[in-house]
Amino acid sequence: MDTFEAIETRRAVKHFDPRHRLSDSEQEHLLSLALLSPTAFNIQHWRLVLVDDADLRARIRAAAWDQAQVTDASLLIVLCADTKAWQKDPARYWRNAPGPVQDFMLPAIQHYYQGREQVQRDEALRSSGIIAQTLMLGARAMGYDSCPMDGFDFDAVGELIALPADHLIAMMIAIGKATEPARPRGGQLPLDQIVVRNRFSR
Ligand SMILES: Cc1cc2nc3c(=O)[nH]c(=O)nc-3n(C[C@H](O)[C@H](O)[C@H](O)COP(=O)(O)O)c2cc1C
């Protein structure tokens, strides 16, 4: 499947085969692809909580308005981010780079994030959106379907997964084998309602 087809056929699927599981190698492949997603300064601050405990899935489902995807999908990822990754051994993000690049990047990371709580949160959510799409398109290319989800009680799910205080939850992503196609598309806006040439008109 090429990229165009993966984009065109990715849909938010609500019904997954609860008996199907991705193999370990498929899971590894998908997660390795996801890891190639871009992050500003390459800080890779996403944290992917893979929930395979059936009881925990059931409790998350209860906190997600009983949405069946949570228990039935092969893979349930609570997509989190560490908003303080920028200050946790940042040399690891550039360990393969030449010395001059490291000398530039490491202070730049500190300068960009230090004391800027909103930026830390914005970047975490920005990066999470990108990796989410990588996961969904990667899954599609492997013949699977997905559903991005934020229809849940974030505090309750944070509690259930023991979310650290300096992390946030961006969304959940259910991935698996669809048993029913998605409903027809809700309706895409015409391009002229979303494309702005050069600047907004006041
Ligand atoms: C951040 C986000 C959260 C969403 N949350 C849910 C959800 O909780 N449950 C659900 O069934 N679909 C959810 N969706 C799916 C959207 O309803 C769906 O993407 C949208 O209607 C467009 O349909 P499509 O993805 O099939 O093209 C979510 C989508 C996004 C991007």
Question: What is the per-residue pLDDT for 180?
Answer: 95
Which percentage of the chain shows pLDDT scores above 90?
Answer: 100
What local confidence, expressed as pLDDT, does residue 10 receive?
A: 98
What are the structure tokens assigned to 189, written together?
């806006």
- Confidence class for position 3, pLDDT limits 50, 70, 90: very high
Confidence class for position 36, pLDDT limits 50, 70, 90:
very high
pLDDT at site 57: 98
When pLDDT is averaged across residues 28-49 and rounded to a whole number, the result is 98
Q: What is the pLDDT of residue 185?
A: 96
Q: Whose C-alpha lies nearest to ligand 1, atom 5?
A: 149
What mean pLDDT comes out for the span 119-126?
A: 98
Residue 148 tokens, joined: 């991005």
Distance 89 CA to ligand 1 centre (A): 35
Domains belonging to the chain, first-starting first, are: 3-193 (3.40.109.10)
Ligand 1 centroid to residue 167 C-alpha, Å: 23
* pLDDT tens per residue, range 130-188: 999 999 999 999 999 999 999 999 999 999 999 999 999 999 999 999 999 999 999 99
Tell me which residue has its CA closest to atom 6 in ligand 1: 149
Centre of ligand 1 to C-alpha 24, Å, is 27
- Per-position DSSP letters for the chain, written without gaps between them: --HHHHHHH--B---B-TT----HHHHHHHHHHHTTS--GGG---EEEEE---HHHHHHHHHTTTT-THHHHSSEEEEEEEETTGGGS-GGGGGTTS-HHHHHHHHHHHHHHHTT-HHHHHHHHHHHHHHHHHHHHHHHHHTT-EEEEE--S-HHHHHHHTT--TTEEEEEEEEEE-BSSPPPPP--PPPGGGT--SSS---
Take atom 22 of ligand 1 and give the residue whose Cα is closest.
12
- pLDDT tens, 60-81? 999 999 999 999 999 999 999 9
